[in-house]
Every structure is written in C-alpha cells, then in structure tokens.
Amino acid sequence: MNFARPAPAWLSRLLVALAAAAVFAATLGTRDFIRDDRLLIAENQLLRQGWKAAPQIMTTGYWEMILGRNAPIQEYRPLLALSYLLHFTTTGAAAWPMHAANIALHCLVCVLLLEALRRRLGARAALAAALLFAVMPIHAEAVCYITSRSELLAAASVLAAWLLLEKQASGPRLAWGTAIFCAGMLSKEHVVLFPAFLALSDWAFHGRKPWERERRRTHLILAACAAAYMALRWSLLTHTMHGGVAYFHDRLVALLTFSRFALQRYLWPSVSGANLCADFSRPLLPDASPASVGAWLALAAWTALAAAAARAWLRRACWAFWILGPGLFLLPTCHLFFPLDSIGAERFLYLPSVGLAALLGMLFAWAASRWRTAARLTLAALILWYARASVERSRVWLSQRSYYEAALRCNPVSANALSSLGAALLESGETGRGETLLLQAAALDPALARPVYNLGRLAWQRADLNQAEALLEKALRLDATFTDARVLLALCREKRKRLDDAAALLERALADVPWHAAAEFNLGRVEMLRGRPAAARAHFLRFAQLAPDDPDARQAMILAGSLRP
C-alpha cells in the first residue's frame, strides 16, 4: 500500500475488510464448539426450540439459560443469545456459519473504525491504524470464540453510535444512534459506558460539554436509556452486576495483582503479538502481596499514565482521548467494582485496543512526515508480523483438543484445561490418557467439580455404579448447581430401583433448569416405572417440545401416544 497518497475510501475499506477476514479465516474449518461455545450454544436446549423460545430468552439471564436460576454469573445479553437462535433457525447447529458471522462482524468493526479514525486522524493514519487493528493477534479470542461475539457486537454498536451521535444529532440520526446504543447494551453490559465515552470525545475533538445546549438532548436520552437498561437488569437478575465466584477477596491485593497482570499480560502481548494465552486460571499467576515492589511500580505506572492522560484531555489533546475513551470499557473487568471469576481474558481487550491502534496510527503519521520510507517499511513489517501471528493463533480454535493443548502450553497448571482436554480425549476414544488428565485435574484443584463429574460419567459408562454414585455425589457437594451431575446420579438411582430418589433428583434438576431436555425424558421413563402414566406422558411431550431434533424425540412421541388416557 502506498501511504504517500491517500487511497480512495472504497479501496481502504476493502483492504481493511479483506485483511480482517483473511487472518481469522482458519476458524471456518472447525467443526467443534470450544469451551463456553459448547455450553452456551451447542448444548443450549432453548435454542433448539426455535423462535417460540424468544420470549424466554428475552426474560432470562444469559447464563441462566444453561445453569438455571442458581447461575453464579449474572449477565443479561438477550440480543447475543437471539443471534445464536437465528443461526439455529437458518443454518442449523453447524459451527462454521457462526464463525463466519463473527468474522463478518470483525470486518464491520474494522470498517467502522476506519471511518471514525479518518474523521479524526486523517486518511493515512486512519488506514494504518485500521489495518493494524484488523490483524492484531490479541483479537483472536474475540473473533474465533463464538460466544465472544458479545465483544464484536459491543464494539460495532459503540463505533456506529459514535459516528451517528458525534455531532449535533436530531431526527433519524438521533433515533438510529440511540437504538444502536440500546442494542449494544443488550449484547454486552459494558456498552452502558458509551455516554461517558461520547462525553470524552465531545470535549477532546469538538470542545463541547454534555450539558451545553446543543449536546444536552443527546446525552439526556442516552442517560435515560442506560437507566432503563439497568432497571431491566435489576428486575430480571438475582444480582444486577455479578461475574461469578470472586477471584480476589482483598481489594488491595486485587489492585496490585491486576496492575501487574495488565502490564505483563495485556499491554505487552497487545503490542508485541507474542505470549498470548487463553487461560489465566490459578495458580498460574500468584497474587501480589502489599510488599511486592514490582506490583507497586506497575500500579504507579498505570496511575501516572491515567493522570497524564486526564490532564492532557482537559487541554483537548487528542492522544489522551485514545487512552481514556477506549480504556473506559476495561473498567468493569478490572476487579475494582464488580467480582469476576477470572483475573482477565484477552477478549476483554477488543474494544480498548481501538485506542492502541489509533495511537499507533498517529505514531506512523508523525514518523512518515519525517522518515517516509522507514515509516512505511516499519508499518508493513508490523502488519505482516501481526498477520502471521493471528493466522497461527486462529488455528488454535480448530478443535477442542488443539484449544486445550494450547491452553496447557501457556498455563500447564490449569485444572480447568486439564479437565476439559481429558473430557475431549474421552470423547475421541483415548480413554486412558483422558482419565489420567482428569485425575490430574482433580488432584490439582480438589474444589473443581467438572473433572469429578467426568470421572463419574466414565464410571457410569463402565457400569461401575458404586464409583459413579460416589463421584457424582462428590461433584454435587462441590457444585450444588451442577444439573448434569444430578441427572446422571438420578440414572444411577434408577439402576438401583430407587425410583423415588431418581424422580426427586430429576424434579430438582427441572426446578433449577426448566428446559433441561434430558431431565424431562428421563423423568418420563422413571414415572412410567413408578406407574404414573399421566405424569410420564406430560414429560415425554415436554421433551419432544424442548428437543424436536433429538434422536429420542420420536421415541418420546411414541411413548406419549401409548400412554394416552
């Protein structure tokens, strides 16, 4: 690309979109659902009901769709879930169309960013920044992980609303910008910070304040929408903001540890494209103590950067906005305000890295004005370096096995990764190695229920009822919300002819997750054995309604027909 003369707008958009699609295209070859993709999409019974499940999705927490009323993570993302439902009703349950949609959304974000930057930095700097953003390896998790579509939708809504509402907005522009903002909040809760982002932008680029006459109406409408969204969350969720079992239990330790983590695991991989990792679970990163000099230095560095940026922003220095504005969207995951169940994730950097890309574009424009050839060669080399790393990184998502093997390479002490890789090996027939990894995971983290459940499932397959029951009971002691463990334990009770116990377990499973299809089908069988045909028929019909494409659905309808009163 010749940066000496700006490319036509259409060509710049095409180049950026092609670059964004090319580096992550490898995921189109995957047939597996990885990690949360499997739980929230492939095994989500609500999605299999078609559009009649839409009202339930709109009034149910994101994780409650799977974990039921006791879900430890409280999020409300109905539009994100409806996007999965759209796939199920059009392209079915195949993984590659969902990956294609993520890639298309990434292309859209990159083109929107190009336009936003062009208005503020000029054509050359905008193209350089957008190309760098398109191929950043740190974005692999956000693009390749289907359920990270929340990050893509959030970024697209923020950038689109920004383009529509940055100037005096009225009529259709105000209506569309507000609607896009609302859609973003219903896709990922961080978008609620957009009004603050817009206020920072108004001052930095236009010297306007939210309470001034020409901007007051826009900001009041956005504030009202944000308040309505928070009220809706409050009415539907058990906790308005809750990210699961808290990773930290001390505020100072959280601040020090996260400051060091952000420097080592966020900033450096974002800039270098190296040392990427999909699993930061304990005990990989030890907590920083109040005596840790390195952690205090990291905190001092971040504090100094924020203070310098805030001071420069007051003077309307545009570089300061690119630190403060996109950085706002990292605040909900920094452990200062809300509990989270992990120290961090690379996908959280998707929207904040807009600022990094803009700063790199500004740096390129400055360097090109002095050393044109050297600047262009350096930019080309960095784009190629990022692109190569992104292509390599995207291949991690080709299968469950490749994903968890990569996770263990960067975090060999992750009990979650060991457990998940062990389960994947069991499914592929490598029982011996899979069982070994599950035992290692259970020993590494005795409080983790998942490997215990998978060992119980393996014992069930081996017809070892004593061991299966002991392991499943242990899994439920570790995690009382583990519905799949409760259903399998009910099958063990049924084998022992303890039908009342089996029915009680299945009823509890359905009380927690009313749309659990396996629980409905098995409760129907148990009720038949208990001599309760009317109850059995109701459960079989409900199962067929919940999972019409399940191989057992036809059998359920036959059984229901045979039990007709």
Question: pLDDT tens, 177-223?
Answer: 999 999 999 999 999 999 999 999 999 999 999 898 888 899 999 99
Residue 275 lies in a domain: yes
Q: What is the pLDDT of residues 353-395, one digit of tens each?
A: 999 999 999 999 999 999 999 999 999 999 999 999 999 999 9
Tell me the CATH number at 437: 1.25.40.10
- Could you count the other beta carbons within 10 Å of the beta carbon of residue 155? 32
Residue 170 scores a pLDDT above 70: yes
272 and 291 together in one domain: yes
Q: What is the pLDDT of residue 243?
A: 56
Q: What is the pLDDT of residues 525-545, one digit of tens each?
A: 999 989 898 998 998 888 888
> Domain boundary at 365, 396, 427, which?
396
For residue 531, give both structure tokens.
Answer: 């001599």
Q: Is pLDDT larger for residue 75 or for residue 465?
A: 465
Residue 407 lies in a domain: no
Q: What is the rounded CA–CA span in Å between residue 439 and residue 430?
A: 14
Helix, strand, coil distribution of the chain in percent, nearest 5: 75, 0, 25
For residue 424, give both structure tokens.
Answer: 């994947």
> Domain boundary at 396, 427, 444, which?
396
- Could you count the other beta carbons within 10 Å of the beta carbon of residue 428? 13
Q: What is the rounded CA–CA span in Å between residue 218 and residue 173?
A: 10
For residue 24, give both structure tokens.
Answer: 């992550």
- How many separate domains does the chain show? 3
Q: What is the rounded CA–CA span in Å between residue 416 and residue 454?
A: 12
Half-sphere exposure of 357 (CA within 13 A, CB side): 30
82 neighbors 243 (Cβ within 8 angstroms): no
Residue 229 lies in a domain: yes
Q: Residue 73 — very low, low, confident or very high, per pLDDT cuts 50/70/90?
A: confident
For residue 527, give both structure tokens.
Answer: 């009720």
421 and 537 together in one domain: no
Q: What is the pLDDT of residues 253-309, one digit of tens each?
A: 999 999 999 999 999 999 999 999 989 988 888 999 999 999 999 999 999 999 999
When mean pLDDT is compared across 24-33, 37-46, 120-129, 244-253, the lowest value belongs to 244-253
Q: Which domain holds residue 429?
A: 414-480
Cα dist from 202 to 166, 219, 291, whole Å: 7, 11, 41
For residue 469, give both structure tokens.
Answer: 């029951």
Three-state secondary structure call for residue 530: coil
Length of the chain: 565
> Domain boundary at 434, 457, 480, which?
480
Residue 199 lies in a domain: yes
Percent of the chain whose pLDDT exceeds 70: 97
Q: Which residues contact 408 (CB under 8 A, 6 or more apart)?
A: 279, 414, 417, 418, 421
151 and 83 together in one domain: yes
Torsion region of 550: left, alpha or beta (phi above 0 gives left; psi -120 to 50 gives alpha): beta
**Mean pLDDT score, 504-527:** 90
37 neighbors 147 (Cβ within 8 angstroms): yes
Residue type, 199: A
For residue 375, give both structure tokens.
Answer: 């600047």
